[in-house]
């Protein structure tokens, strides 16, 4: 065999070896990315997803690929986390365990800004609102009246408090147009009537209080000068922000079991009779509904996502499916089997649906077709930290 032929054979063998290594590396990287996201290896991302797991950790991942940026731990032992709020690059959430409850504020690199510890013998309602440079949340007490708190967002000091009537507790507040709206609910065994309070967001002074004929069974939603909630009489209520008077109430599909969503003049909700329901925001008349056929968890609400070409509504069910609907017609766009019951509300940004699962996984899907992208497993449960925050 000539030396030229021998050299050609050696070159071909070397090329085949390099190609095999490259092919293996490419396949291995794709396999790991498709299953569980590793730690971040590159510069800080433009968008992150923030959420807590009951494995005692709060997470920050890159939203597009699921790389771990950092984790934060409040205390060891049974931490539960509220939905996260991110405003002007600052993270806020409520965290609780068997020994304490607190509001925590972090920077987007995971470093601590401040922590506000709740007074002794008090607990929170697992939610907060941030607006006007203040953090608003409700506090229940075993030794005194429940109260609504406002903290200064900059340093965590108390700006003002507003006490509930005796034997009443506050629901979670919502802030709109410089006002704080909060339901005041009778405690178990109380003969008090439910009320809706409107407070000045800056100082907590009472603007008006209205007695409600139906006790709110969902959180409040606010949009376009109207407060919406699901009532205990299985109806959706619309209340004027200016004076608390009822604009209308609608019993369509048994009303919402969770916080309604508002978009493009339509109210969307998970209905008591197993439908995803859309009603007109002006009078509560039915626009469309879609029968899921199984109950929704009371922690699941519709997520509305708009692009320049379309608007869609996304929601998960206890039947283990994630759904996407045309927001105007209710036509089913896609349905994806997740493999576990969905008990949280999704967050959506840049064409990606992010949803936390009770098996401890944060899972993502494409908004256009429901194809699953990446998932990140926390070895805990993601339930109370719903929806995750995207910033």
Domain boundaries, the chain: 301-391
Strands (E), 153-297: 158-163, 168-170, 174-176, 179-186, 195-200, 206-211, 221-223, 226-230, 236-240, 246-250, 261-263, 266-270, 275-280, 286-291
Q: Tens digits of per-residue pLDDT, 328-337?
A: 999 999 999 9
Q: Which residue has the tokens 């379309």?
A: 310
- For the segment 14-18, the average pLDDT, to the nearest whole number, is 43
Does the pLDDT of residue 66 top 50, yes or no? yes
Q: Tens digits of per-residue pLDDT, 271-314?
A: 999 999 999 999 999 999 999 999 999 999 999 999 999 999 99
State residue 310's pLDDT score: 97
Residue 234 and residue 254 in contact, taking contact as beta carbons nearer than 8 Å: yes
State residue 39's pLDDT score: 42
- 191 vs 367: which has the higher pLDDT: 367
Q: Give dist(CA 345, CA 302) in Å, integer.
A: 7
How many CA within 13 A on the CB side of residue 15? Answer: 6
According to DSSP H, which parts of the chain are helical? 3-35
Q: Give dist(CA 333, CA 311) in Å, integer.
A: 11
- 328 vs 29: which has the higher pLDDT: 328
State residue 6's pLDDT score: 44
Does the pLDDT of residue 13 top 60, yes or no? no
Q: Which residues contact 139 (CB under 8 A, 6 or more apart)?
A: 118, 119, 122, 123, 124, 125, 146, 147, 148, 149
Does the pLDDT of residue 264 top 70, yes or no? yes
- For the segment 265-270, the average pLDDT, to the nearest whole number, is 98
DSSP reduced 3-state for 161:
strand
Does the pLDDT of residue 390 top 70, yes or no? yes
State residue 170's pLDDT score: 95
State residue 64's pLDDT score: 96
- For the segment 200-214, the average pLDDT, to the nearest whole number, is 97
CATH number of 301-391: 2.40.10.480
> Mean of the per-residue pLDDT values for the chain?
90
155-185 burial code (b ≥16 CB/10 A, e <16): ebeebbebebeeebbbbbbbbbeebbbbbbb
- For the segment 100-119, the average pLDDT, to the nearest whole number, is 97
Of 67-81, 101-115, 372-386, which gets the smallest average pLDDT? 67-81
DSSP assignment, residue 256? B
pLDDT band at 3 (very low <50, low <70, confident <90, very high): low
How many Å is the maximal CA-CA distance in the chain? 104
Range of 30-34, 95-99, 210-214 with top mean pLDDT: 210-214
- For the segment 354-374, the average pLDDT, to the nearest whole number, is 97
pLDDT band at 212 (very low <50, low <70, confident <90, very high): very high
Q: Tens digits of per-residue pLDDT, 322-357?
A: 999 999 999 999 999 998 999 999 999 999 999 999
pTM, two decimal places: 0.88
Of 20-24, 163-167, 237-241, which gets the smallest average pLDDT? 20-24
Q: Give dist(CA 177, CA 330) in Å, integer.
A: 31
Q: Give dist(CA 86, CA 184) in Å, integer.
A: 26
DSSP string computed for 295-346: PPPTT---EEEE-SS-EEEEEE-TTSEEEEEETTT--EEEEEE-SS---S--
Torsion sign, CA atoms 278, 283, 284, 288: negative
Of 137, 133, 60, give the one whose Cα is nearest residue 93: 137
């Amino acid at each position: 065999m000539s030396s030229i032929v021998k050299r050609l054979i050696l070159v071909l063998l070397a090329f085949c070896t390099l190609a095999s290594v490259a092919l293996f590396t490419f396949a291995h990287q794709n396999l790991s990315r498709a299953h569980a996201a590793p730690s971040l290896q590159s510069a800080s991302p433009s968008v992150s997803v923030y959420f807590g797991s009951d494995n005692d950790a709060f997470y920050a991942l890159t939203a597009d690929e699921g790389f771990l940026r950092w984790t934060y731990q409040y205390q060891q032992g049974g931490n539960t986390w509220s939905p996260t709020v991110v405003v002007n690059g600052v993270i806020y959430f409520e965290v609780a365990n068997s020994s304490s409850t607190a509001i925590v504020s972090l920077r987007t690199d995971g470093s601590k800004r401040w922590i506000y510890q709740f007074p002794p013998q008090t607990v929170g309602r697992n939610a907060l609102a941030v607006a006007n440079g203040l953090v608003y949340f409700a506090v229940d007490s075993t030794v005194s009246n429940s109260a609504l708190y406002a903290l200064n967002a900059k340093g965590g000091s108390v700006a003002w408090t507003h006490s509930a009537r005796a034997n009443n507790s506050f629901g979670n507040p919502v802030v709109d147009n410089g006002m704080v709206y909060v339901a005041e609910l009778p405690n178990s065994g109380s003969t008090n009537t439910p009320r809706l309070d409107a407070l000045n967001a800056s100082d907590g002074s009472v603007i008006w209080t209205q007695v409600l004929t139906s006790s709110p069974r969902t959180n409040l939603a606010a949009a376009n000068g109207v407060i919406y909630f699901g009532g205990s009489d299985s109806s959706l209520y619309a209340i004027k922000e200016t004076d608390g008077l009822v604009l209308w109430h609608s019993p369509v599909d048994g009303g919402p079991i969770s916080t309604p969503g508002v978009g493009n003049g339509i109210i969307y909700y998970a209905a008591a009779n197993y439908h995803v329901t859309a009603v007109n925001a002006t009078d509560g008349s039915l626009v469309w509904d879609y029968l899921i056929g199984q109950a929704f968890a009371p922690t699941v609400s519709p997520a509305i996502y708009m692009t320049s070409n379309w608007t869609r509504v996304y929601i998960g069910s206890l039947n283990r499916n994630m759904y996407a609907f045309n927001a105007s017609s209710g036509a089913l766009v896609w349905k994806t089997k997740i493999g576990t019951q969905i008990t949280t509300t999704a967050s959506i940004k840049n064409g990606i649906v992010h949803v936390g699962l009770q098996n401890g996984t944060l899972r993502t899907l494409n908004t256009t077709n429901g194809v699953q992208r990446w998932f990140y497993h926390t070895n805990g449960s993601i339930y109370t930290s719903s929806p995750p925050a995207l910033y």
